[in-house]
Structure 1
Amino acid sequence: MEHHFADCTLDDSRLTLTRGGSAVAVEPKVFDLIHLLVRNAGDLVTRDRMVDEVWGGRIVSESAISACIAAARKAVGDTGKAQAVIRTVARRGLMLLAEVSGEAVTPVAVAARAIPAAAQRIRYCHSEDGRAIAYAVSGEGPPVLRFGPPLTNDLEMEWAHGLHRSSISSMELHARYLRFDNVGSGQSERVLRDIDFETEARDAAEVANAVGFERFAAVSFSGGCLPALNFAALYPERLTRLAIVGGYVEGRSRRSADASPDALKSMIAEGWARPASAFASAFMTSYFPEGPAEEAREILREMQAACPPEAMLRDRDAINDATVAHLLDQVRCPVLILHARDDAVHPLSQAQKLAAGIPRAELVVLETANHIPLYGSPCWESYNYTLAEFLTG
């Protein structure tokens, strides 16, 4: 069924939303909220009903609900100030103001009128030492560059997988989002290169140059904070703001004089080449103890495909011995640090150390044990909204 309202069309059989004839990327819960409002156009939809139908009756924070509402408004071209399409009824709920008309779509009509998901376009540039770097850019809005965990991303696999598509789609709603694979992994040139985080920062600069990003925001995930902070120190005039998710100041070997052997490295050595091995599963459970399990398995499959075991082991040694303590006071842009309260891989104390060392940095503590929030976790919506709001100002 197609539902037409304002300049939007919501197709609940194909789970698509278009505005002005163009496809709009929305997260599943945002789509479900819009669908709920469309089906009850002109009627009050209470917050209790939203929680029941969109979140399945689970306990959900007010910030998560507010983030979902804000994303729904943005998706239909509305704002919290204008409220021309979605009106807030104070202390009660929401109401869709636009008139809605419905139209059943036959299979033939679907084939003729459906707007397919855009195909990802991967391009290449070259590092200073001549290595090919794969990158892709999508979405509209202020420019944002991603520093992913070193050697664990694959542009093609993350575009195809549900978890990453949810994360990418969330960012595409707000920004022109630039992602790239590190040299030695993913779709970039597969070569064993000496691991140096300043070199990786310079690689990122080459990618930004190729796309035409002069000044831009950046987001780093996990070990991606190491090249990201090097970039902030090397190119202070180019970075407008930096978000650090699951970051740290010191690798585990530097955190104490009597650091125990790296169990995660042993898991990589024993299980990286065997996708279904117990060692590989234990590795992912360390990072994502709360699951969902299928999402964690999806990440594991991507990481195993992104680089061979020998490269991953070299990377593990490099990040264990890394420190960015000397760079913190050189960061000049606004910085937001998001970190899981119960992260067992990189403890919250490391995020606190980042926040204390970077001038005027802010810290947001996420209520999860997962190293990085996964789609389906209670803090997912508020995390995504907070991240996008900061990066795009």
Structure 2
Amino acid sequence: MRYEFADCVLDVDRHVLLRSGETVPIEPQVFDLLELLAESPGKLVVRDEIIERVWNGRFVSDSTISARIAAARRAVGDDGKSQRIIRTIVRRGLQMAVEVSCENTLTPREHRKTQHLKYAQGTNGQAIAYTKSGEGPPVVRVGSIAYDLEAEWRLPSERAYINAMEEKFTLLRYNKRHQTNWGDPRHVDYDGVTEDILAVSQTAGFDRFAIVAEFGGLFSALRFAVKYPERVSRLVIVGGWAEGRNHRDGVEGPDSIRNLIVEGWQDPGSGYAVGSLLSYFPEGPLETVREIVGELQTLYSVEEKLYQRDSGNTASVLHLLPQVQCPTLILHARNSAVHPLSEAHKLAAGIPGASLAILETANHIPLPGNSVYDTYMQSLIEFLEAPDEN
């Protein structure tokens, strides 16, 4: 769906706002507010409707609502004084004050409001939830900021990614296996989670497919690509690292992210918890980071978060890199403070024929609302759309 008003285009499919032909970076909640207003130009949109749509009915302060309205006005070239595009109806709500034309670029399939979960049988006997959506070449997503299907569906930042990928590909996502036993993080057994990729892809009917590995999903994705080269057509590594913090030269002192987890992960919405994730996303948007933290604190205990952190710090995949046979793209932030660009150079140098695309951001992986987000998605999609060399 595309909405055109004033000198703006709100492209819902691509989750992009254009003004005078130029992309305007905005936070997901600001985008949702603009979409809500553009859907019914001239209609009064009351406060409760705004909260339900933009904040999923959660409690939110008046100051937060006012800040998002102000940001929406700035994004479309409006302001609170003139209100020529977004009009405030005092003590009632908001109104889109200009004409809006819309173009429906989606099929009914893409207007879905729910995701449908299916289940595969994992190697350890656990049922693995997965979902397959979209049409096009098959792509398996391994790892994400949440690595949980329901959390990804609730997060606007994740939904923007999912919607964009569904337009071009048949996207397969799945839940990571549930762990109850926490062993030595220096000796993680990745064989089981690697076989989970095989179980889910076979159940979904995928024979040969591309893999997009994010964060720690790299470790199982690389092992799968090495063990089953005939099944992997292309590999994208987003925000990956060849060697964890404990293996890197010149890294001294305590792990500040680990300390933040210890101090405050158990307290919902605490500054410590938000600070641990801002280490990955210093450019925000802050509200998006807070939403992600809220979901992660529900999903993962302090023990689980520390295990994830420690296993990542002690991991190394250098021995696997020369064995990867498929075309590979490394996407990495130039100014990531968590896993520096030097780690991406190691990955690209170690994998035969791999290419590295450097993203001009400090966010470890770009989020909707970042100026580089469109570049990130374009690079990802263009690589995945290339013909299978086999």
Cross-structure match for 1:27: 14
| Matched AA of 1:235 | Y
Q: Is the 8 A contact 1:25 1:173 kept in 2?
A: no
| Matched AA of 2:21 | M
Q: Give yes or no for the alignment of 1:350 onto 2:343.
A: yes
Q: Give yes or no for the alignment of 1:179 onto 2:173.
A: yes
| Matched AA of 1:348 | L
Cross-structure match for 2:117: 122
Which structure 2 residues correspond to residues 155-304 of structure 1 after superposition, within 5 A? Answer: 155-184=149-178, 191-192=180-181, 195-256=188-249, 259-304=252-297
1:392 to partner: Cα distance: 2.3
Of 344, 355, 363, 2:356 maps to: 363
CA distance in 2, matches of 1:338, 1:115: 27
1:103 to partner: Cα distance: 11
Q: Deviations over 1:134-157 (max 9, x none)?
A: 11111110000011148x322112
| Matched AA of 2:300 | C
Which structure 2 residues correspond to residues 315-334 of structure 1 after superposition, within 5 A? Answer: 315-334=308-327
| Matched AA of 1:55 | V
SS in 2 for 1:371: coil
Which structure 2 residues correspond to residues 38-77 of structure 1 after superposition, within 5 A? Answer: 49-51=20-22, 54-55=23-24
Q: Is the 8 A contact 2:117 2:130 kept in 1?
A: yes
1:56 to partner: Cα distance: 7.6
SS in 2 for 1:287: coil
Q: Give yes or no for the alignment of 1:145 onto 2:134.
A: no
| Matched AA of 2:282 | P
Q: Deviations over 1:190-232 (max 9, x none)?
A: 6336542232111111111110111000001122111111111
- Distance 1:128-1:25 versus aligned 2 partners, 3 A rule: farther
CA distance in 1, matches of 2:337, 2:260: 16
SS in 2 for 1:289: coil
- Identical aligned residues as a percent: 43
Cross-structure match for 1:131: 126
CA distance in 1, matches of 2:211, 2:254: 33
CA distance in 2, matches of 1:164, 1:241: 22
- Distance 1:218-1:116 versus aligned 2 partners, 3 A rule: closer
SS in 1 for 2:290: helix
- Distance 1:115-1:141 versus aligned 2 partners, 3 A rule: closer
CA distance in 2, matches of 1:349, 1:104: 47
Q: Is the 8 A contact 2:245 2:251 kept in 1?
A: no
| Matched AA of 1:310 | E
RMSD: 2.9
| Matched AA of 2:15 | P
Q: Is the 8 A contact 2:269 2:290 kept in 1?
A: no
TM-score normalized by the length of structure 1:
0.71
CA distance in 1, matches of 2:138, 2:273: 35
Cross-structure match for 1:383: 376
| Matched AA of 2:148 | D
TM-score normalized by the length of structure 2:
0.71
Cross-structure match for 1:338: 331
1:120 to partner: Cα distance: 0.2
1:259 to partner: Cα distance: 3.9
Q: Deviations over 1:54-82 (max 9, x none)?
A: 5289xxxxxxxxxxxxxxxxxxxxxxxxx
Which structure 2 residues correspond to residues 9-24 of structure 1 after superposition, within 5 A? Answer: none
Q: Structure 2: which 5+ runs fail to align? A: 6-10, 27-98, 103-107
Q: Deviations over 1:17-41 (max 9, x none)?
A: xxxxxxx971232xx56xxxxxxxx
Q: Deviations over 1:270-311 (max 9, x none)?
A: 222212212101101100001110111122122222222212
| Matched AA of 2:272 | F
Q: Is the 8 A contact 2:209 2:234 kept in 1?
A: yes
Aligned length in residues = 301
